């Protein structure tokens, strides 16, 4: 089965639920969360409008618990909207097209947060989460059962982090040596470990902005001083075909991925690390990234996407022993969805690797996006399947 | 459009941490993940080393170099002894790699007797490498298989945490007597590795218990310290002297420390909620 | 600590404690104090059993304890219990190597050992821990520890003192490492030791429980060097209330000529170290303990004619009476009337051991032995013998003198001492605030050399 029915029905269910939510302002929530007994009340959407310069309102106060936000992009660029706790991303919604709305839900604990509003240079807003009586305990597989999978994943993260640093160092060395061809060859290997880790790494907003900003999000695009990291190097290597000015960028990248490695190492393990991060990245791919592409100059997006899939697959692999006894259908659905995206990616392979992304037509991209949406939908069920009382 | 995203779990856990910084004693906490992950990396490094060392050991045997093979026996075993609590989860390999003659009905003469100790027996008792080629090849194949299997294994948390005490029980029950390496008397190598392996586990989980139980931590550390001190007396430039040189007094001291560590570390699983 | 739970219905014991104390001990005829049967005979299940009772119940039901499980020997006193305490049916001697680098370690060892013994001998409930942790107790006696007449007697070996400069000067003057006698074949693996525990109780499980408790609680101080379990056969209560001594594995009564252990004055003279012994002050109230593991060649012995056996011992096998007359083991032989050994051979065991002369009065010793059975040897013979334990105030005049007289006795053909050691029994812990070994620790602290070392 290459096109799993459950994914479809899920998507329809989701769409239906969303319609309901829009229509009645009522609990779309209940549709997708029937067994959770959520206390989300009707109309409990916090509306936020992102303008070219700021959020409106720029300060939000919500009670703790699961909260839903509806974000309207009234600027003329695609924006992302994030809730930040210090430098940590609590939840984010990427690629909200101009004039479109997006909804997002986060489980929030009391505290002070920041919200991003469009361009990175725009001032951030505030989100205050006040204590509430909502209990958030649930029953499911024991926390203990997740110790093994989580530690396995931690090991993977450690190994990939080491590879990421080594890759960046090798790339920087090639740039230092003035070897353009070698540097070009090392760009993809240097980037892949980062993409495998992206589902965790993207949460470090400061580092993500330094390591992986796309020119589109910057005011002066390629000319912007904040244009650093992988894509800046990619731009030099593949667009300008020159190493000029890249040495300090590469050194900075080495420093930044080293910091990222340390942050990932000290990241507190949580079940969400396994149940949520894969869905997030699949969702990001499905909604905009596949369509637009990120590597505008090297056109190596298929390598990126394949690495993202590897990262996702690691989480589902380690979860398998916990998931299969509790939710065999979810496990099967995820397997099928992963097979589907893998098959579609494999179809874009030649003997020398993936085809250049500019040769991938819009229709293929759309199909791939849909498959990732199915994957995201399947992965999203992990959260329900693995409800842990901590 | 992404209603399902509403389900996204306690994302904040990333920032705040599900397990609070002060793990309550005897409750399972996700803070165990880090020690478990670090321990797996430690074990993986050791199995890698084991394959490397065994390759050289086997080469010496097949070269017929008795003296070199003898000199490599003690050090090669250390990577295995450090990670024994995990290695012995694979009972088939544990038998073929590390069984002793008395595990077999016909002892040294038993055709099934293989692995390190069979090689040890032939090297020291027969002073030859004759007839060892096949056993040496099998040993290398076994440790290579072990390396792979361990990398694929999700470590059971209770085996990891319990391993600290298991190593001590092992020493207390069958090693303090010198019966492990009875032909080569390289037991101190094994001892040292067993202690190192036990201590590694303890050090990794220490942050989870030190706040609630500083006295326990101090006592265990002191006992490990005493062991180090005692073993240090028997260190040579490239390892350890023969077990036969261990004085009765030091054997008594080691025995007391081992038993005390076994007794204390036996509470480690319970302290971390891993009954 | 002494709290007791109500008895279960199935237990036939009365709820009252039966405290065994020196002044209530049965005084036996002939000045013989040790009466093995007293502890077990009354109320013991098998003493009352009938065929009908024996046929009831499920196979794996626990045997029913008698009320003797409630017997409690006071722990505190001038002397340690377990010496003049009537010997129960079961005993263990366990010898340890001690880890104690300084007086503080030794004091901590003594204090903890005292606390364990006080609990174990007096009984009480086992503390409950979180089930995720190993339990506090082996559990072999259940959740409530009954005293069961348990005594744990602590003694010190010469090596404890010899290995520690700060203890050397305080060693009891006669405490030496056990040397080989001509017939001995000592095995170093079951000889000597820094500290010995003699554990005695009505039931063997009580002894084993106590040993495991102490080893579990004190691994940092005590490393087991050797141990030997033993027991003595119980007997039926007799109509006259006199039970006699237990028999050894050679089938003879053993301990017949013991001094009267209920006579405090005699015990002060024979067993307890007093000012007359010239021992260090800290040792007052202690005693020398000699332990010998003596293998008996029982198959060969059983193939020896009865008459020869009796001549070797100097007693009748059935009654234990001396060969020169009398009806019981407590009859006193009159060697003066048999100077050539025509009735009781001069080299018979009892005549060599105790010639009953004015001069040999000072060689009296208090024997408190157990029999042991350790399975079998490689040759397929039974490995059985005597766990010989003897107490005296003067080791030279006591066991050493007696054993020297016994050298070359005909019995040697049937016995082989293979292990054991000499130890000095610490004075008792007087009350709750006291601990075993206190006087020794205080003596260390008042030693001039120690004060200099500690800069006092």
Nearest to B153 by CA among B89, B238, B218: B89
Q: Is the pLDDT of residue C343 over 90?
A: yes
Q: Is the pLDDT of residue A240 over 90?
A: yes
Banded pLDDT at B17 (limits 50, 70, 90): very low
pLDDT at B109: 92
Banded pLDDT at A326 (limits 50, 70, 90): confident
Q: Do chains A and B touch (3 or more CB pairs under 8 A)?
A: yes
- Poorest-pLDDT segment among B6-10, C105-109, C164-168: B6-10
As a whole number of angstroms, the distance between CA C283 and CA C447 comes to 15
Angle at A45 between CA A41 and CA A48, to 5 degrees: 165
Q: What is the pLDDT of residues C309-334, one digit of tens each?
A: 999 999 999 999 999 988 899 999 99
Q: What is the pLDDT of residues C46-69, one digit of tens each?
A: 444 455 556 667 888 887 778 889
* Cβ-Cβ contacts under 8 Å, B269 against chain C: 132
- For A26, other C-beta atoms within 10 Å of its C-beta total 16
Closest residue, chain B, to A19 (C-alpha): B1
Computed over every residue of chain C, the mean pLDDT equals 87
Banded pLDDT at A110 (limits 50, 70, 90): confident
In a mutational test of the B interface, the residue from C105, C221, C223 whose CB has the highest number of chain B CBs within 10 Å is C223
pLDDT at B125: 96
Please state whether the peptide bond connecting residue A36 to the residue before it is cis, i.e. omega within 30 degrees of 0.
no
B47-54 long-range Cβ contacts below 8 angstroms, 24+ apart: B47/B79, B47/B83, B47/B87, B47/B143, B47/B146, B47/B147, B47/B150, B47/B151, B48/B147, B49/B79, B50/B76, B50/B79, B50/B80, B50/B143, B50/B146, B50/B147, B51/B140, B51/B143, B51/B144, B51/B147, B53/B79, B54/B139, B54/B140, B54/B143
pLDDT at C204: 96
In a mutational test of the B interface, the residue from A18, A84, A143, A151 whose CB has the highest number of chain B CBs within 10 Å is A151
As a whole number of angstroms, the distance between CA C384 and CA C301 comes to 12
In this complex, do A275 and B9 lie within 8 Å of one another by their Cβ atoms? yes
Contact C384, C371 (CB under 8 A): yes
- For C368, other C-beta atoms within 10 Å of its C-beta total 27
Q: What is the pLDDT of residues A77-97, one digit of tens each?
A: 888 788 888 766 777 777 788
In this complex, do A152 and B154 lie within 8 Å of one another by their Cβ atoms? yes
* Cβ-Cβ contacts under 8 Å, A37 against chain B: none
* Cβ-Cβ contacts under 8 Å, B36 against chain A: 147-148, 150-151, 154
In this complex, do C134 and B266 lie within 8 Å of one another by their Cβ atoms? yes
- Give yes or no for B166 touching C (CB within 8 A): no
- Give yes or no for A87 touching B (CB within 8 A): no
Of chain A residues 90-109, which have a CB less than 8 A from chain B? 90-91, 93, 102-109
Higher pLDDT, C2 or B152: B152
- The first and second tokens of residue A6, run together, are 């459950």
Residue C197 burial (10 A CB sphere; 0-12, 13-18, 19+): buried
Q: Is the pLDDT of residue C272 over 70?
A: yes
State the DSSP string of A306-350.
HHHHHHHHHHHHHHHHHHHHH-HHHHHHHHHHHHHHHHHHHTTEE
As a whole number of angstroms, the distance between CA C221 and CA C105 comes to 8
Closest residue, chain B, to A137 (C-alpha): B10
pLDDT at C456: 45
Query: Helix axis angle, A301-326 relative to A277-284, nearest 10°?
Result: 140
Q: Which chains touch C (3 or more CB pairs under 8 A)?
A: B
pLDDT at C31: 37
State the DSSP string of B180-228.
TTTTT--HHHHHHHHHHHHHHHHHHHHHHHTTT-HHHHHHHHHHHHHHH
Banded pLDDT at B14 (limits 50, 70, 90): very low
Closest residue, chain B, to A203 (C-alpha): B14
ipTM > 0.85 (yes/no): no
Pairing of the two strands A55-56 and A45-50: antiparallel
- Poorest-pLDDT segment among A288-302, A366-380, B103-117, C2-16: C2-16
pLDDT at B76: 97
Q: How far is A214 from chain B (nearest CA, A)?
A: 24
Q: Is the pLDDT of residue A36 over 60?
A: no
State the DSSP string of C135-158.
PSS--TT-SEE--TT-EEEEEEEH
In this complex, do B7 and A136 lie within 8 Å of one another by their Cβ atoms? no
CA distances from B13 to A110, A274, A318, C57 (A): 12, 12, 19, 60
Say which residues have a Cβ less than 8 Å from residue B187's Cβ, sequence separation at least 6: B175, B178, B180, B181, B243
- Count CB pairs under 8 A between chains B and C: 41
Residue B104 burial (10 A CB sphere; 0-12, 13-18, 19+): middle
Q: How far is B79 from chain C (nearest CA, A)?
A: 28
Q: Is the pLDDT of residue C44 over 50?
A: no
- Poorest-pLDDT segment among A201-210, A292-301, B26-35: B26-35
- Poorest-pLDDT segment among A10-19, A322-331, C396-405: A10-19
Contact C155, C194 (CB under 8 A): no
- Poorest-pLDDT segment among B263-272, C242-251, C433-442: C242-251
Closest residue, chain B, to C225 (C-alpha): B252
pLDDT at B7: 28
Q: Partners of C392 in the beta sheet?
A: C288
Q: Give SS3 for A184.
A: helix
Q: Is the pLDDT of residue C450 over 60?
A: no
- Give yes or no for C134 touching B (CB within 8 A): yes
Q: Is the pLDDT of residue B64 over 90?
A: yes
Higher pLDDT, A75 or C375: C375
pLDDT at A352: 86
Banded pLDDT at C236 (limits 50, 70, 90): confident
pLDDT at A369: 95
pLDDT at B116: 97
Nearest to A174 by CA among A102, A237, A95, A262: A237
Nearest to B195 by CA among B36, B37, B86, B81: B81
Pairing of the two strands A353-354 and A349-350: antiparallel
Range A281-308 average pLDDT: 93
Q: What is the pLDDT of residues A246-269, one digit of tens each?
A: 999 999 999 999 999 999 998 888
* Cβ-Cβ contacts under 8 Å, B12 against chain A: 85, 90, 106-109
Q: How far is B195 from chain A (nearest CA, A)?
A: 24
Q: State the pTM of this model.
A: 0.74
pLDDT at B147: 96
In this complex, do C132 and B253 lie within 8 Å of one another by their Cβ atoms? no
In this complex, do B270 and C219 lie within 8 Å of one another by their Cβ atoms? no
Q: Is the pLDDT of residue A147 over 60?
A: yes
As a whole number of angstroms, the distance between CA C301 and CA C251 comes to 10
pLDDT at C47: 45
DSSP secondary structure code for residue C322 in this structure? B
The structure tokens 């060693």 sit at C171
Q: What is the pLDDT of residues A179-194, one digit of tens each?
A: 999 999 999 999 999 9
In this complex, do C223 and B259 lie within 8 Å of one another by their Cβ atoms? yes
- Give yes or no for A148 touching B (CB within 8 A): yes
Q: Is the pLDDT of residue A10 over 60?
A: no
pLDDT at C370: 97
In this complex, do B275 and C131 lie within 8 Å of one another by their Cβ atoms? yes
Closest residue, chain C, to B259 (C-alpha): C219
Banded pLDDT at C218 (limits 50, 70, 90): very high
Q: Do chains A and C touch (3 or more CB pairs under 8 A)?
A: no
* Cβ-Cβ contacts under 8 Å, C99 against chain B: 252-253, 256
* Cβ-Cβ contacts under 8 Å, B154 against chain A: 148-149, 151-152, 318, 321
- Give yes or no for B257 touching C (CB within 8 A): yes
Nearest to C220 among B249, B260, B266 (CB): B260
pLDDT at C174: 97
The structure tokens 């992950």 sit at B37
Range A341-354 average pLDDT: 94
Of chain A residues 184-213, which have a CB less than 8 A from chain B? 203
- Give yes or no for C96 touching B (CB within 8 A): no
Computed over every residue of chain A, the mean pLDDT equals 83
Q: What is the pLDDT of residues B229-251, one digit of tens each?
A: 999 999 999 899 999 999 999 99
Q: Is the pLDDT of residue A138 over 50?
A: no
pLDDT at A11: 39
* Cβ-Cβ contacts under 8 Å, B260 against chain C: 219-220
Range A137-161 average pLDDT: 82
Banded pLDDT at C191 (limits 50, 70, 90): very high
pLDDT at C28: 36
Nearest to C107 by CA among C166, C157, C178, C189: C166
Largest CA distance in chain A: 63
Q: Is the pLDDT of residue A390 over 60?
A: no
In a mutational test of the B interface, the residue from C95, C99, C105, C215 whose CB has the highest number of chain B CBs within 10 Å is C99
């Amino acid at each position: 089965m290459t096109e799993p029915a459950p994914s479809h029905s899920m998507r329809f269910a989701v769409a239906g639920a969303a319609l309901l939510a829009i229509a009645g302002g009522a609990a779309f929530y209940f549709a997708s969360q029937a067994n959770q007994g959520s206390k989300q009340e009707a109309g409990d959407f916090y509306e936020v409008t992102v303008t070219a310069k700021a959020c409106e309102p720029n300060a939000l106060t919500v009670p703790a618990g699961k909260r839903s936000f509806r974000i309207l992009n009234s600027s003329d660029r695609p924006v992302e909207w994030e809730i930040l706790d210090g430098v940590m991303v609590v939840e984010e919604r990427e690629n909200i097209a101009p004039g479109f709305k997006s909804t997002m839900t986060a489980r929030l604990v009391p505290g002070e947060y920041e919200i991003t509003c469009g361009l990175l240079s725009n001032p951030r807003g505030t989100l205050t989460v006040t204590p509430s009586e909502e209990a958030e305990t649930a029953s499911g597989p024991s926390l203990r059962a997740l110790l093994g999978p989580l530690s396995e994943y931690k090991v993977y993260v450690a190994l990939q982090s080491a590879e990421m640093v080594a890759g960046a160092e090798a790339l920087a060395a090639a740039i230092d040596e003035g070897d353009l061809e070698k540097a070009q060859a090392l760009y993809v290997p240097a980037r892949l470990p980062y993409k495998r880790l992206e589902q965790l790494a993207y949460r470090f907003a400061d580092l993500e902005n330094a390591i992986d900003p796309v020119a589109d999000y910057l005011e002066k695009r390629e000319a912007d001083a904040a244009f650093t990291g992988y894509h800046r190097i990619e731009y030099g290597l593949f667009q300008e075909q020159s190493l000029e000015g890249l040495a300090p960028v590469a050194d900075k990248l080495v420093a930044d991925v080293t910091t990222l490695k340390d942050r990932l190492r000290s990241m507190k393990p949580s079940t969400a690390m396994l149940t949520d991060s894969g869905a997030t990245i699949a969702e990001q791919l499905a909604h905009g990234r596949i369509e637009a592409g990120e590597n505008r100059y090297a056109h190596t997006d298929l390598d990126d996407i394949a690495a993202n899939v590897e990262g996702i697959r690691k989480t589902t692999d380690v979860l398998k022993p916990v998931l299969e006894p509790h939710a065999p259908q979810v496990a099967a659905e995820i397997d099928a969805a992963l097979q589907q995206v893998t098959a579609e990616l494999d179809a874009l392979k030649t003997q020398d690797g993936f085809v250049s992304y500019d040769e991938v037509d819009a229709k293929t991209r759309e199909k791939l996006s849909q498959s990732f949406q199915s994957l995201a939908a399947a992965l999203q069920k992990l959260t329900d399947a693995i409800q842990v009382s901590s | 459009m992404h209603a399902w995203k509403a389900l996204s779990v306690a994302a904040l856990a990333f920032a705040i941490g599900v397990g609070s910084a002060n793990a309550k004693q005897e409750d399972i906490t996700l803070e165990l993940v880090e020690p478990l992950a670090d321990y797996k990396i430690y074990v993986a490094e050791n199995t890698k080393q084991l394959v490397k060392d065994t390759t050289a050991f086997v080469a010496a045997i097949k070269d017929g170099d008795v003296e070199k093979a003898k000199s490599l026996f003690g050090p090669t075993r250390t990577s295995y002894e450090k990670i024994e609590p995990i290695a012995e989860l694979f009972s088939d390999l544990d038998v073929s790699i590390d069984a002793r003659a008395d595990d077999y009905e016909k002892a040294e003469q038993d055709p099934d007797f293989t692995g390190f100790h069979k090689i040890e027996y032939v090297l020291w008792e027969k002073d030859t490498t004759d007839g060892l080629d096949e056993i040496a090849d099998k040993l290398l194949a076994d440790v290579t298989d072990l390396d792979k299997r361990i990398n694929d294994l999700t470590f059971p948390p209770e085996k990891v945490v319990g391993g600290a005490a298991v190593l001590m029980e092992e020493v207390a029950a069958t090693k303090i007597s010198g019966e492990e390496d009875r032909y080569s008397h390289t037991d101190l190598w094994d001892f040292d590795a067993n202690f190192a392996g036990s201590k590694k586990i303890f050090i990794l989980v220490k942050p989870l218990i030190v706040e609630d139980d500083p006295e326990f931590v101090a006592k265990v550390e002191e006992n490990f310290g005493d062991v180090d001190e005692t073993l240090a007396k028997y260190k040579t430039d490239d390892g350890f002297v023969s077990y036969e040189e261990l004085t009765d007094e030091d054997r008594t001291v080691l025995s007391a420390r081992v038993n005390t560590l076994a007794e204390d570390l036996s509470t480690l699983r319970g302290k971390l909620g891993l009954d | 600590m002494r709290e007791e739970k109500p008895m279960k219905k199935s237990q036939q014991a009365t709820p009252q404690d039966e405290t065994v104390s020196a002044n209530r001990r049965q005084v036996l005829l002939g000045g013989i104090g040790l009466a093995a049967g007293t502890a077990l005979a009354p109320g013991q299940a098998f003493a009352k059993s009938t065929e009908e009772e024996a046929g009831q119940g499920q196979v794996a039901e626990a045997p029913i304890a008698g009320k003797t499980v409630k017997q409690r020997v006071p722990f505190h006193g001038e002397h340690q219990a377990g010496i003049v305490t009537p010997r129960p049916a079961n005993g263990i001697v366990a010898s340890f190597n001690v880890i104690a680098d300084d007086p503080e370690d030794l004091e901590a060892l003594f204090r903890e050992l005292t606390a364990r013994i006080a609990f174990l001998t007096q009984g009480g409930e086992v503390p409950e821990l979180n089930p995720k942790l190993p339990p506090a107790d082996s559990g072999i006696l259940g959740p409530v520890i009954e005293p069961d007449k348990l005594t744990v007697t602590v003694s010190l070996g010469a090596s404890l003192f010899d290995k520690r400069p700060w203890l050397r000067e305080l060693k009891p003057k006669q405490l030496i490492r056990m040397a080989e006698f001509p017939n001995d074949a000592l095995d170093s693996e079951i000889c000597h030791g820094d500290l010995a525990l003699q554990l005695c109780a009505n039931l063997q499980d009580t002894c084993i429980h106590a040993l495991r408790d102490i080893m579990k609680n004190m691994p940092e101080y005590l490393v087991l060097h050797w141990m030997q379990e033993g027991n003595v056969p119980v007997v039926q209560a007799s109509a006259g209330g006199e039970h006699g001594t237990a028999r050894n594995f050679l089938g003879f009564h053993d301990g017949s000529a013991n001094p009267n252990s209920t006579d405090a004055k005699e015990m002060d003279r024979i067993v307890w170290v007093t000012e007359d012994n010239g021992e260090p002050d800290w040792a007052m109230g202690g005693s020398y303990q000699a332990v010998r593991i003596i293998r008996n060649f029982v198959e060969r012995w059983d193939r020896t004619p009865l008459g020869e056996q009796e001549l070797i011992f100097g007693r009748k096998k059935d009654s234990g009476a001396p060969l020169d007359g009398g009806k019981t083991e407590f009859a006193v032989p009159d060697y003066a009337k048999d100077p050539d050994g025509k009735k009781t051979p001069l080299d018979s065991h009892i005549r060599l051991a105790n010639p009953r002369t004015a001069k040999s009065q000072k060689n009296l010793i208090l024997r408190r032995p157990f029999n042991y059975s350790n399975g079998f040897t490689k040759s397929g013979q039974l490995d059985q013998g005597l766990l010989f334990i003897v107490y005296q105030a003067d080791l030279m005049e006591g066991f050493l003198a007696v054993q020297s007289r016994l050298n070359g006795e005909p019995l040697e053909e049937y016995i082989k001492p293979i292990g054991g050691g000499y130890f000095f029994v610490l004075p008792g812990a007087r009350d709750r605030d006291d601990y075993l070994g206190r006087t020794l620790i205080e003596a260390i602290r008042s030693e001039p050399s120690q004060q200099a070392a500690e800069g006092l």
